[in-house]
Amino acid sequence: MNNESASPPATDILLVDDTPANLQLLTALLQKRGYRVRPVPSGELALQAARSQPPDLILLDIDMPGMNGFEVCKCLKADERLTAVPVIFISALSETMDKVKGFSCGAVDFVTKPFQFEEVDARVRTHLELARLRETLKIHNAQLEETVARRTRELAEANARLAILDQAKSEFLTLISHEVRTPLCGVFGVTEILLDTFAGHPALEPEYTQMYEHSRRRLLSLIDDALLLSQIGAGSLPGESKHCRVEEFMLQALAEASIFALSREVRLAPAPSDEGLVWGAPKYLARALQSLLETAVKFACPGTTVRLTREDETDSIRLAIEAEGHDIPPAVLPQFFDLLSIAEPITPGGDLGFGPPVAERIVSLYGGKVLVENLQPPGIRLTVHLKIHPQPTH
């Protein structure tokens, strides 16, 4: 028969019955199906055989002298090595309560005598396959737990390395901002003395003075931004946060950014009136807005105007800065606010420097967000969302 050839060759079945004829019949039939069968005539011997060599499945009679099948099954399920072995009762007992008791002892199935061997064979095959699947699942779960534990360790180690690198970055930025400022002051002082000494000399072109002033402001801005980034990395900025008027830091930002805009021949539109309140430090919010305005100026064409508009949203104030002239390369947009990610100049006004990441991190520190997008015709829009806070009551 095809069923005989399909049977698993090494499956070990422990057969327990106190009636020799039943043992002989079932043993012969199961062996024909390719099973390895160990017949035993009592419950005590069944426990000894199972403990000596755990079988793959147990066929167990109930009504036996000495230790009955229910007691044997309870002992099997109490043994850690045998608890997973499926037990199928084969008994002349046919009452519902007998079956319920059998299942409550831990059996997986119940076959009533007299039986058809095809039924026994089908149930044996089913529970052997279920046991195999449970074991496979157990192995997979163990492997999964091991993989998760390993990945968790790797993630913890990676986070620890990142924390060390982040700390090193912050310390480096702090060191640079402090240590570079001193020698630069000497360079600036000597340069200004020389420029004053040779003022009016025909060899001193006016653009040299402009070049020096632009470079001086650029270096000082980079140093200040580096110090800010190191402070933000620590999770806070010096100074007290409070409810502050939007108009206050908008006007300050426009005044500071106007010098840079003038050097690029770009106009800044007047600030919109705004009596709204947001949470933060006016000094740093002004710095963030100034950085974004100067970033927009770098994308603007000479002779154009950078505009700052304001809108109310459900729980925030939206400030939009728009510049006409040039857009951001698509590949750069996703990393526009990443620190040191944009290594090459992408605007006619030069590289972006620390301005965008500084602004984005300051705004995020106070619960807001900054977005950037290209416009059509070419240009960019920088959008700042700041959390609204109600007017304080007196």
The predicted-structure confidence for 52-97, as pLDDT tens digits, reads as follows 999 999 999 998 998 999 999 999 999 999 999 999 999 888 788 9
Percent over 70 (pLDDT), the chain = 81
Closest CA to 254 of 290, 200, 300, 292: 290
> What Cα–Cα distance (Å) separates residue 334 from each residue in 256, 313, 370, 372, 386?
28, 25, 13, 9, 21
pLDDT of residue 185: 72
Rounded Cα distance, 24 and 2, in Å: 23
Closest CA to 110 of 86, 133, 83, 134: 86
Question: Is there a contact between 297 and 320 (Cβ–Cβ < 8 Å)?
Answer: no
pLDDT of residue 7: 46
Per-residue three-class SS string for 190-216: HHHHHHHHCCCCCCCCHHHHHHHHHHH
Q: For residue 277, give both structure tokens.
A: 């309140």
pLDDT digits (tens, 9 = 90+) for 354-388: 888 889 988 988 889 999 999 999 999 999 999 87
Question: Is there a contact between 87 and 78 (Cβ–Cβ < 8 Å)?
Answer: no
Residues paired with residue 242 on neighbouring β-strands, in sequence order: 280
Fold equal for 2-138 and 241-387:
no
pLDDT digits (tens, 9 = 90+) for 226-282: 667 666 665 566 666 777 888 889 999 999 999 889 988 999 999 887 667 887 888
Task: Tell whether the model's pLDDT for residue 154 goes beyond 50.
Answer: yes
Q: Is the Cα dihedral 147, 153, 155, 161 positive or negative?
A: negative
Q: Nearest 5°: phi and psi at 297?
A: -60, -35
Contacts of 121 (CB under 8 A, 6+ apart): 3, 29, 30, 33
Architecture of domain 2-138: 3-Layer(aba) Sandwich (3.40)
Rounded Cα distance, 375 and 327, in Å: 7
Q: Is the Cα dihedral 40, 45, 47, 48 positive or negative?
A: negative
User: Where exactly are the structural domains of the chain?
Assistant: 2-138, 241-387
Mean pLDDT computed over 324-351:
76
Question: Is there a contact between 289 and 384 (Cβ–Cβ < 8 Å)?
Answer: yes
Q: Nearest 5°: phi and psi at 163?
A: -65, -40
Residues paired with residue 344 on neighbouring β-strands, in sequence order: none
Q: Average pLDDT over the chain, rounded to whole? A: 83
More confident call, 338 vs 13 = 13
User: Quick one: 241-387 is in which CATH superfamily?
Assistant: Histidine kinase-like ATPase, C-terminal domain (3.30.565.10)
Task: Tell whether the model's pLDDT for residue 304 goes beyond 90.
Answer: yes
Which of 63-77, 99-113, 164-178, 233-247 shows the lowest per-residue confidence on average (mean pLDDT)?
164-178
